[in-house]
Structures are given as structure tokens and as C-alpha cells.
Structure 1
Amino acid sequence: MCIELIRPSPGVAVLTIDNPPVNALSTPFRLALLENLRKVEADDSVHAVVLTGNAKTFCAGADLKEFTNGTAMDYPSLVDVLIPFILAMSKPLVAAIGGSALGGGLELAMWCHARVATPAAALGLTETTLGLMPGAGGNQLLPRAVGLERAVNLILNGRIQAAESFKGTALIDSFASQDNLIEVAGQLALSMAERGQPFTHLSLRRVEHPQAAGFLAVARAQTRARKDCTNGMLVALDAIELSLSLPATEGLKREFALFCPVMESDEARAIRHAFFAEREAPKVRDLPASTPAQEVRRAAVIGAGFMGSGIAHCLARAGIDVLLHDVSVEAAERAVAKLATYPEIEAQRVSVLRELSELAHVDLVIEAVVESMDAKIEVFRKIDPWLRSGALLATNTSTLDVDVLAQATSRAPEVIGLHFFGPAPVMRLLEIVRGAQTSAQAIATSLQLARRMKKVPIVARVGPGFVGNRIFDRLLDAALELAAEGVRPDQVDRVLEGMGMKMGPFRTMDLIGNDVLSKARGGRTDTAGYALAEALVGRERYGQKSGQGWYRYGVDRRTALADPEMEALLPAGSARALAPAEIIDRCLLAMVNEGAHVLEQGIAQRASDIDIAFLLGYGFPRRLGGPMLHADRSGLAVVEQKLLDLRRRTGSAVWTPAPLIMRLAREGGVFNPY
């Protein structure tokens, strides 16, 4: 049942949206709404109508799955059927908003004759965050409700605000508590019915602005300059401009015509893929849904450096009491003092762990010491005897074997990897690494902890570099190979950053430290790329920290400047130019091929987990949906052929297509089935 019809008082009909989990505007809901609107319109005992949801959600907007399967415009569509019906009703329809009204849900509410909301109700047109734009009149009605400038800001940023922030605007006619929301909405609807037609409506208002054309021109320029600019944002501005000169109903038709190509674009499909992938990632295929998660009330973090203090920040912000330990008590004290200054962390939430005996009272320990197996084993052996039975012992390692660490303890089932990405309070990705003996409860507890910290988890199995770093290393290798062939590092970075990556591979290597990467590789020189990287280290070009690496850096040690001296290190002392498309192919094909190996070996559960890892952890452009989706869109037969061509041209076996790619290419398959 998508709509419940009740009559709480004489003359009033209440239609309650009941379409779990988020009251989406799916086809069954639209059918039920139309049927019930017809029913109350034909009922002479009904004088006024209230449309409402529940305390959590009025309506969360379109069902995105229908955009994917092509049923979003099935009868009765919001634009062609429901909105015209509402406008033609002889009885006023009032939206009673107790929870969130987002996207198409807010558009539906704005096409009602009036709106009553609780002060905390969350309102917003969030379509641009999904690569889309409002397509059911939001660009026409929101400027009429709150003014042109505020509407542009809200729409372009997909911003959600509390209903109380719209007090004094035409968006909300009246406020009520959750307890009397229906009563207030019903009274308003009856008073409108008594006044008779024509009913007041947002569509009858005009958009007033002294310099609308100039304002919109500036907004377009600023939007184009944004790193996260999408076509949906730019087209939304075109649709908003229509509100200045056209009646709302005519603007609605033109807006919808603009919306459809945006909805069907590759960019919007990729961003929708990312949306679904985030929701799929926490689902572990062999983890029973009934697995109990242990509540984490108190945790300890070992290591008070950049990562350790960042992890403590994440835990404390989630309402968990944290003990922070470091071999240097002074370092731990400084980190605790700094954390205490953050307004989102409650006072006394973080304190210094001075004695290991205090670990007897914690539910979780996360070590974040130097990336050395010997150092981490030593920490685990010291901690293990002090922990209570059932307490989790986690490592923040990004590369090391979690099973080896588990063997150093008496609690292998409670040992797990929790790989945070830096800076931990900012980065949303959490790579959960399950060992061979990690218990189902440990996994469930880690997933619950991720939700509590507002992280997006992917669950990986043990393997060198797990999911993210293993594939990212192949990107770095491919970049090094290009440099060894004479392609300037700054050209590679410029092309990949132009594609949308937040930071190119050579800038990333300079940030990490070329000496650190050399140590991780064991000083290997068995490829031309590795030999070139070692030549840099031999010249103490470590990166930002030394002022020189693949780039040179100014006094601030942040701004990367192309360094002519790099040419002397390239083959034959001269650089060669390469077409941007070939640079992109080389780097992305390396990632995709390694991703296929990761899937074959069961390190990653699904291709979309790899996409999420790179979207959230490595700055891959969201508009491309991730490296594996990008490969799907290119066609895996094309990917296979390009890999074979590279193997032939370079003579390197690393370009041999993974068996999974070859099989899917033969079958016409894809990595991501949805």
C-alpha cells in the first residue's frame, strides 16, 4: 500500500504516503496517489485534502532505480499527469511535512496549494548531487518561493536546510509540531476551501530581481570554474532563467525537456552508479544478517601521529570515549590538547592512555604506528594480554598482512584491519580487512562502527595492498613507465587532473615521499620506471619535504612547479609529448587490469567496491563513476584489445589482460551488472 486514506475530521481527507523505505516517487506510488486524488476529488463529503508522510520522511524524491531501468516516466508521470491534476483540483491540497522532503518530494510539495512543516523538517532540491537537475518544476517554483539568489544557491549545491530557515518565505505557509501537524494542515486546508477558488499557489508568484541577467551570468561563470561542476548544474541555470519570463506551467514543460537528456547522460548514469555503489558496499555476501554487532563505547588508539590522532578524532566525534597512547607521552598530550579544541568533540571525550592496564576496559583498540611489520607485531604482543575477551584489536595498516599480525596474538578472531585514509576526519572511505580467522561479529562490529563514524566501508580480504593501494600502485607504476619513456611528469599529472582526478600520480608521489615509496618497493630497479624513481631518491629528491622531487617546491613546500632539471633525468635527456588520450589509457588500463585480478582473487567483493574506493579514497572523478565503470562504458572487448596492444608495444607481461577481462569480453559482459 503506497497511500493510506483517512478522514480525521469532517470535511478533511488525509493521504499518508506509505512507500518504504523512503517514500520514493516510484510508479506504484504515483498510481496510488492519482487514484486517491481522484477519489477525494469526487467525494462530496471531502472539502479539503492533506498529503503527508511520516515523522522521518515526507518524500525523498524519485526512485533512482527507475531511472536505471527506464520506468521513471511511466504513467502517471509527475509532470504530465499528477501536477496538472493537482492544479485542476476543486479542493485545496496542503502538504504536511514532518520529515525530509527532498528532490521530487519537495517539488511535489511545492505544487500543492500550501505547505505546513515542522521546524526541523529537512528541505532541499538535491538533484545536482546526483549529476541531475530538478525536472518537475523545482527550478520554476523555488525562485518564486525564496527568491532567485537563494534558489540558485540551494539548487546548484543540492543543499538541505531545516524548514525553520525558510520562515518568512512563501515556501512554508505555517509551522507545527509533529503532534499537531495534521491538525494544523487540515485547518489551513479547510480555511482555503472556505475562501474558495482560485486557491493561492506558488505558480502565481513572480520572480523579482534587480539584475537577474547579470546575476545568472556570474553564477554560470562560477559554476563552470567549480571542480565538481556537472552538466546538470549548468542546465539547471538555464531552467531557472525560464522562471523569469515564463508562466510556471510553461516553464515546467521546458524544464522537463531540458531534464530528460541530462538524466540519460553518461555523466548522470555514472554518478547514479556511485550512489548505488555506496549503498551496496557495506553488504557482505557471506555475513548473516542476524550477526550481532558489539557496541563500542570506549576505544584506544595506539600512536598519536597524523593518522592516530585523526582516527581518535573520528571516534570521539562519533560519541566514543577514546584513550590515546604514544611512546612519547608528550606527543600524546599534545594530540589530546589539540583534539579538545575541536567544537564537535565533547570535553573529556579523549584522554591520554598512560598505563596499558587501562586497556582492560576498552571495546576496541586501533594501532596506528609506523608501517612496519616488526613494529606492529610488537604493539600487538604488548596489547593482547591486557584486552578483555571479545575486544577487537584492529590495525590501520595500508599494506601489511593482517593474518601475520593476528598470529602474534591469542585472539585471531577479533583481529581486523581498519584502514583509514588521511586525513581521517575528512576522508569518507574505510577499508575493512578481514583476516582468515576474523569472526563474523568482528566484521559486523566494524561495519556498525563505520556507520557511526559516517564512513563508507568496503570489505576486503588479505592481500598485498588490499583493494585500494594494490590498484593505486599499478597507476603509479604506469606513470613511472611513461616517465621512463620520456613523458614529462607534469604532462601526465596535467592530463589526469584535467580528466578530473584531484591529484596526479607524480604530485601524489611527492606528497607521500619518494623515499617512503622506495622503501615500500624494497629499492627495486627491475623496471625502467623503478630505476628512474630510485635515481630521484639517490639525488635526495624526496618530494615536498625536501623541496624537490618530480617537481620543485617553493618556501611553502606545497606549490608544485615544473622543474627543468627533470629533463636531465629522462631518457636521452629529452622529453617527448604524448596525446592526452594515450596517457589516460595507459594509466586507467593499468588500474582496470589490476582491478580485474583483485576481483578474480576475491580480494574485493564486487567491482563497484573498487569504484567506491577510488571515488572516495583516491580522488577519482565522480562524473566517471570509477575505473571499473569507466571500463564497462568503454567496452571490455576494447579494453582487452588495448591491453594486448600495450603488451606488444612495450614487451611487458604486466599488460597481459586478466582472465576475467578476457572472459567478460567474450561473453559481452561487464564488471558492474547494474
Structure 2
Amino acid sequence: MTASYEVRGQVAVITLNNPPVNGLGYETRKATAEGIERANNDAAVKAIVLTGAGKAFSGGADIREFGSPKALAEPNLLSLIKVVENSGKPVVAAIHSVCMGGGLELALGCHYRVVAPGTQVALPEVKLGLVPGAGGTQRLPRVLGVEVALNMIVKGDPVKSEQLAALPGQKLFDQLAEGDVLEAALAYAQQVADVRPLPLVRNLKARHPEGDAYFQFARNTVKAMAKNFPAPARCVDCVEQATKTRNIDDGLAYEREAFISLMMTPECKALRHAFFAERAASKIPDVPEDTPQRKIEQVAVIGAGTMGGGISMNFLNAGIPVTILETKQEALDRGIATIRKNYEAQVKKGKLKQDKYEQRMALLTTTLDYADIKNADLVIEAVFEELGVKEKVFTTLDEVMKPGAILASNTSTLDVDKIAGFTKRPQDVVGMHFFSPANVMKLLEVVRGAKTGKDVLATVMSLAKKIKKTAVVSGVCDGFIGNRMIEQYSRQAGFLLEEGATPQQVDKAVEKFGFAMGPFRMGDLAGNDIGWAIRKRRYQEKPDMRYSKTADLLCEMGRYGQKTGAGWYDYVPGKRDAIPSSVVNEMIEKHRAELGITPRKISDEEIVHRLVYSLVNEGAKIVEEGIASKASDVDMVYLTGYGFPLHRGGPMNYADTQGLFNVVQTMKRFAKNPHDDASFWEPAPLLARLAAEGKSFN
């Protein structure tokens, strides 16, 4: 994890070599600075080329050093860039593949830049709640112009090098390489070896002809787009500073101050938590990274409904052939028509090219016969959520599928071990719980049965990355991680109605907290009859578990949600706007009177904490039971599948920020409420233990 040094003719080549993306860790920074000094001290060397080994120039900071003393140890990145700028011999950056964050800032410190076409260029720090911290906001506007640079900085998304190289007047790249970028950079270094003075980005000017108006417009825009995050607005401030300071060092100091102050904000901590949690989710404690994987070259999906069609699109998008199986031709035809409609909408919006659409559809075949899917490497069942139906499907799959095929169920609540028991190959059975709409939602709950093979888990987790899902492993329990927790959240929402709240008050409180949608709007969207079916099962299996009857009364009125034009809210045909319903409010008031409850004024704070802490307490039980291997997995489920606000970092992270001692104290108060479920508010053993020890989940 360092940088190598070699001399080719009169040019010294320093190669960053810190896999996987040449992160600028301490050893790499130190070796690079030493290489620059060595080249300057060698009379035979006339120029220096700086490049990266493998599949990146540099992806920026080494995330393995985040929060450690090494991250700030000298030479830090600012010091290294100063070493490069102060080199007495020209430094040419040979940029390829990936040039992001600190990697781009380092390249901007070089005297010249030669780039390979197709290179992904970005300053993505805003996605971690930060501004670039090593001169990005000061140097990029000087080479790309203020508006282009600011757009890149506040969005943080990668842009292809050839797009940037084609901009009129750009000074970011001196040459777009044809062929090998290192060879091009070596040739360029020889051309400029004797050119003096050495050009420096810091000496260029950053100007905007209508600066005050433009920056005010930019502030208004980012405020509307990122209201819960302070970093985008600080990016605007920093770029504006680049246009106003006479001395770039003043701008660099301003940027650094912004970087350090943002580092301490809860939003930044939440985004960094989510960043690491997503990477940690792919690591399964007892499944080594070198576990052999099965080949997945052909996928079959059972069921052409909403879920089956959405699941199929994920694999088609990744270039994997799919066969959809149905029992009736009409169902197949409807399913294929929906897939076409979804793709055509993307084409119409310019998000998908016509030829790509045609390529994806060419990978799709359909059948009514199980014999036609027998050679698939993976089959995913997406049929009706009833154990008897699943039994028929898996018994048939066991008979027809080739040995070694992975048999997956898209069940959202049912026992994967029972499903595996319908086959003679339980080691091949796994849960793959996609979230609706399956072609859009990022979350994939991978449900590990008692006998699921480690190679099956490794294969499915790797495949999830290929189809661009965030996969989280769950053990077997009713509802797995996400739906098990949401049941407690929904129970609390019901109790709040009985005690005096309205559906719109509850929804507005949690939406103000940052949820994409409150529990009652969510119920209307998903279908209130789904929850009703689960409660009916609960009344038989867990007669002691208390629920508000308001949701049952709603369903008895036929108000299932948007699909029936009425649920907790009223809906106008063709629109999704939730209109408060006097009928529903009357039903709640009547039910409240029958229970003998005098309604009370409930604060938004109580609503939020009852709902969120119900998730926290159930999440703690899930971690303690080993259903989730770590608290951050619970956070990833809620951030990517349930609309939990990203700037809060997930329910477990939010509890950490509040202090687990305070969370437990609040729960004890809730337990004293005679209309709530006191037994539920008994803190989970893990939560109680961590609070007593002054520790946190993460």
C-alpha cells in the first residue's frame, strides 16, 4: 500500500499503488512525496509522471484511515499537493479509469494533466456531507469555469473525461490521450521538460460575470434540493470564495474551515455511517470473501405480476437472460406489456436508448412449462404470499431444476426453512426479498435459511452488486428485518389514533422528521388489505399481541387505499394526492368513544419518538437474536427500503445520536401510558445493556 518509483529515459514515473482504487493513505502520500523529492534530486531526470496502478488513477482518501490519526498524519493531502506544486521539474498526471475526490485534487496540483477517454471524474465529498477538503472548490472553478465546477461539486456525480475535455476554454486537461495514457504522458512530459515557468492552477483566475446573482440563485437551488443537508450550501460558499479572494491560500483556508466544521455535523456523521454500513452489509461474518461462487448465466422467474416483472427487469438491465414462467398466457401477456411500458417510459424520458431497450427485451423469454426453465442457474419464485402456493412451486422446482441451481423465494414474511423443507436440496434454497417496485428499490433482503449453503450466500451477495442492489442478510423470522420492525411501527401509529391523533397529524410529524412517507400514506400506497391479512394471522398465532382496531374497521369499510380510491385518505381518480377524510375521522372518533378514551393533544415529538423508538427496540432484538449480524445492517434496510431519512443515518444510528440512556428513559415513560402496550416498551436486553454501559449500537 504505497507508491512505486522508476525512471524511463529522462522521466521519473511515480505510480500510486494502494488497491483497490489507490486511496491516498499515509504510506501512499509519504512514498509519493519522497518520489517527487528523489526525482528533483536526480540530475538525469527532467520531468515526472504521476499515475495510478490497476483500475484507477486515484479514488481519493483511503476510507480505511477515516477517523484515525493516519488520516491527518504529515504529509497530509494538502501538504502533498504543495510538494507537487513546488516541484522544480514538471509533474504530469497520467489520469485513467477513476479520478475522484482527493485523487482529482492531487491531479489539479500537477503542472499538466493527460487523461484517458472514459475516465470517471468527480468530487463526491458532498455525498458524505462534506465539501472537498484539499483545494477542490478553489482549483476546479479555475480550470472548468465557475458554473460547470459548482455543478460537479454540489452534485458529486462522476462525469466522463471526454465530456469535460470538449468544453470550450477548459484548462483541466492538457491532452486527451489516444492509446496508452502512460505512453502519452511520457511523450508529453518530454515535450514540456524544459518549459518554464511551470504552469500552476493556483495562478489562474476564477471569475463569474454576474457573481452575486448567480451565487444567490445557486443557494436557492441547493436549499430546495437538499434542505436537510448543510454541505451543498457550504460548497456554494466555498466556490464563491474562490471568485472573491485575491490569494488562493485564503480560499484554501476558508474551504478547510468549512470541511472541518461539516465533519462534526450530525448529517455528515449519518452519511459517513451509511457509507460504511453499505460496505459492511456485504460482509457476512462466517462466509469468507474467497468463498467459491456458482455461475449465474441464466435466470428464471416464477410469476409475471408486479413483483415478477420488476425482478426480471433487474437482471435484464444487467445483461442476464431471463425466462418468466406463468400458469396462464393472459398473465404472461399482461406482465410482458408492463415491462415494455416501463422501458418505453424510460426511453421517452431519455433515460434509456432505444437500442438498449431492444437488447434487454431480446434477453427475455416466456413459458407456461416448467421444463423450459430446468437449465436456469437461479430461479426466483414471486407467486402469491401463501405457504400452500409456495409448497406447490418448490416441490415442482425440486423435481425439474438441474443440480446446483439456486432456488430463491421472494417471500416477505414466510418461513424460508419451511419452504426449503419442500425440497430435497435445502442447501440450495435462499430468500431473495425484493421491495416494490422491484426494478427501482435498492434494497434486497437475502434470507439465510438454517441449511442455506455458504456458496449460495456468496453468489447471491455478489449477484446483488451486479444488479445494483444493496443486499442485507437476514436470518429466518416472521417478517425478517424490515417487515418485522415495521409491524411495531404500525402498531404505535394505530395506538396514536386511539389516543387523539389523526392520520394526517401522524404522517406530517414523521414526514417533517424526514421520512419519505408517513405510516398511513404508506398503508394506502401498499394496500391496507395486506396488513389486514397479516393481523388476521396474528390474531390466531399471537392472541396476546395488541393492535388498534381502527385499521380493521377501515378495511371492513372496503377502504384498501389508492387502488380502491379510498383508504386512510380520499383520492381523486387518476391522482395520488392524499385528501383528509371526514369519514375516516368520524370512524376513529366513534371507535375512541367506544373504548372510553378521552382524546388528548399529542405532540409531534411524541409521535416521532414512539414510531422511531419502536423500530429501535425491535431492531435491538433482531441484532441480539442474530437475525441481523450488526446494527448497521438494520440501518441499511431502513435507509434503502423504507424511506428512513438519510440525514438521520437509520433508526439505530439515530438512537446512538440521541444517546441510548435517553432512549431507554423515554421508553420507560411510554410504558406508563395506559393506552399503549407497556410490555413492548421493556427495553430489549441489548439496548438496556449498551445504555447501562454508556455504549452505542454502532
> Which residue of structure 2 aligns with residue 58 of structure 1?
57
Contact residue 96 and residue 182 of structure 1 kept, 8 A: yes
Shift of 1:589: 0.8
Whole-angstrom distance in 2 between the partners of 1:229 and 1:105: 28
Corresponding letter in the other structure for 2:267: E
Out of 615-624 and 577-586, give the one that drifted further: 577-586
Cα contact 1:303–1:368 (8 A) shared by 2: yes
The CA distance in 1 between the partners of 2:520 and 2:568, in whole Å, is 6
Contact 2:222 2:232 in 1 (8 A): yes
Verify: 1:600 aligned to 2:601, yes or no: no
Q: 1:634 corresponds to which letter in structure 2?
A: Q
Give the AA of the match of 1:77: N
Instruction: Find the counterpart in structure 2 of residue 539 from structure 1.
Output: 557
Pair 644,505 (structure 1): closer, same or farther in 2 beyond 3 Å: same
Whether 2:498 is the aligned partner of 1:484: answer yes
- Stretch moving more, 225-234 or 443-452: 225-234
Unaligned stretches of 5+ residues in structure 2 = 344-355
**Distance (whole Å) between structure 2 residues aligned to residue 553 and residue 365 of structure 1:** 38
- 2:520 is the alignment partner of 1:496: no
Distance 1:39 1:426, change over 3 A: same
- Assess, with a 3 A threshold, how the Cα gap between structure 1 residues 327 and 228 changes in structure 2: closer, same or farther: farther
Aligned-partner Cα distance in 1 for 2:442–2:628: 18
* TM-score (structure 2 length as normaliser): 0.92
Q: 1:289-304 alignment to 2 at 5 Å? A: 289-304=289-304
Cα offset, 1:574, TM superposition: 8.3
Q: What residue is the counterpart of 1:656 in the other structure?
A: 682
Question: Residue type of the partner of 1:322?
Answer: V
- Which residue of 2 is the match for residue 99 of structure 1? 97
Match of 1:285 in 2: 285
Could you report, residue by residue, the CA deviation over 1:41-92 in whole angstroms, capped at 9, with x for unpaired residues? 222222211110024111111123433235422212222x223332222211
Return the alpha-carbon distance in structure 2 between the equivalents of residues 265 and 178 of structure 1. Answer: 45
Could you tell me the TM-score, scaled by structure 1's length?
Answer: 0.95
Task: Measure how far apart 1:425 and its partner are.
Answer: 1.4
Contact 2:104 2:122 in 1 (8 A): yes
What residue in structure 2 maps to residue 665 of structure 1? 691
Q: SS of the counterpart of 1:397?
A: coil
User: Partner of 2:464: helix, strand, or coil?
Assistant: helix
Distance 2:64 2:500 in 1: 46
Counterpart Cα distance in 2 of 1:275 and 1:414: 31
Distance 1:648 1:574 in 2: 17
Structure-2 separation of matches of 1:289 and 1:245:
50
**Aligned-partner residue type, residue 396 of structure 1:** N
State how 1:460-471 maps to structure 2 within 5 Å.
460-471=474-485
Question: Which residue of 2 is the match for residue 273 of structure 1?
Answer: 273
Q: Percent identity at matched positions? A: 40
Residue identity matched to 1:539? M
Instruction: Name whichever of 13-22 and 522-531 sits farther off.
Output: 522-531
1:86–1:442 Cα change, 3 Å: closer
- Cα pair 1:333 1:352 within 8 Å, conserved: no
Equivalent residue for 1:549, pick from 531, 553, 567: 567
1:522 matched residue in structure 2: 536
Q: Which residue is equivalent to 1:250?
A: 250
Q: Are 2:584 and 1:560 equivalent residues in the alignment?
A: no
C-alpha deviation, 1:654, in angstroms: 0.8
Compute the displacement of 1:178 (Å). Answer: 5.3
Please tell me the residue identity of whatever aligns with 1:172: F
Aligned match for 1:416, one of 419, 422, 430: 430
Q: Which of 159, 162, 179 is equivalent to 2:160?
A: 162
| Of 429, 438, 450, the match for 2:464 | 450
User: Which residue of structure 2 lines up, in the alignment, with residue 259 of structure 1?
Assistant: 259
1:378-397 mapped onto 2 (5 Å cutoff)? 378-397=392-411
Q: After TM superposition, give the deviation of residue 26 of structure 1 in Å.
A: 1.4
* Displacement of 1:492: 1.4
Could you tell me which amino acid in structure 1 is paired with residue 648 of structure 2? L
Larger mean CA deviation between 522-531 and 262-271 belongs to 522-531
Give the letter for the 1:173 counterpart: D
Cα deviation 1:100-147 (Å, max 9, x = unaligned): 010111011011111101011111111111111112111111112112
What letter corresponds to residue 36 of structure 1 in structure 2?
Answer: G
1:110 to 2:100 alignment: no
Q: Say if 1:54 and 1:99, in contact at 8 Å, map to a contact too.
A: no
C-alpha contact 2:131 2:255 (8 A) present in aligned 1: no
| 3-state SS of 1:443 partner | helix
Q: Deviations over 1:479-519 (max 9, x none)?
A: 11111211111111112111111111111111111122111
Which residue does 1:212 correspond to in 2? 211
SS at match of 2:225: coil
Structure 1 residue ranges without an equivalent (≥5):
none
TM-superposed deviation, 1:33: 1.8
Q: Deviations over 1:155-177 (max 9, x none)?
A: 11111011111124211110214
Distance 1:351 1:490 in 2: 45
- 1:544 and 1:557 in contact (8 A); partners too: no
1:624 corresponds in structure 2 to 648
CA distance in 2, matches of 1:46, 1:348: 56
Report the number of matched residues. 668
Aligned equivalents of 1:381 and 1:186: distance in 2?
64
Deviation at 1:528, TM superposition (A): 7.1
Query: Which residue identity is paired with 1:121?
Result: T
Cα distance in structure 1, aligned partners of 2:230 and 2:9: 48
Change in Cα spacing, 1:107 to 1:603, as seen in structure 2 (3 Å) is: same
Structure 2 CA distance for aligned equivalents of residues 224 and 661 of structure 1? 36
The code of the aligned residue for 2:449 comes to G
Q: Which residue of the partner structure matches residue 38 of structure 1?
A: 37
Counterpart of 1:567 in 2: which secondary structure? helix
Secondary structure of residue in 1 paired with 2:243: coil
2:367 to 343, 347, 353: 353
Q: In 2, distance between residues paired with 1:227 and 1:521?
A: 38
Aligned-CA RMSD value: 1.9
Counterparts of 1:560-599 in structure 2 under 5 Å? 560-568=578-586, 569-570=588-589, 571-572=592-593, 576-599=600-623
Q: Distance in 1 between matches of 2:70 and 2:503?
A: 47
Contact 1:484 1:529 in 2 (8 A): no
Q: SS of the counterpart of 1:194?
A: coil
Q: 1:153 pairs with 151, 154, 159, which one? A: 151
Distance 1:610 1:57, change over 3 A: same
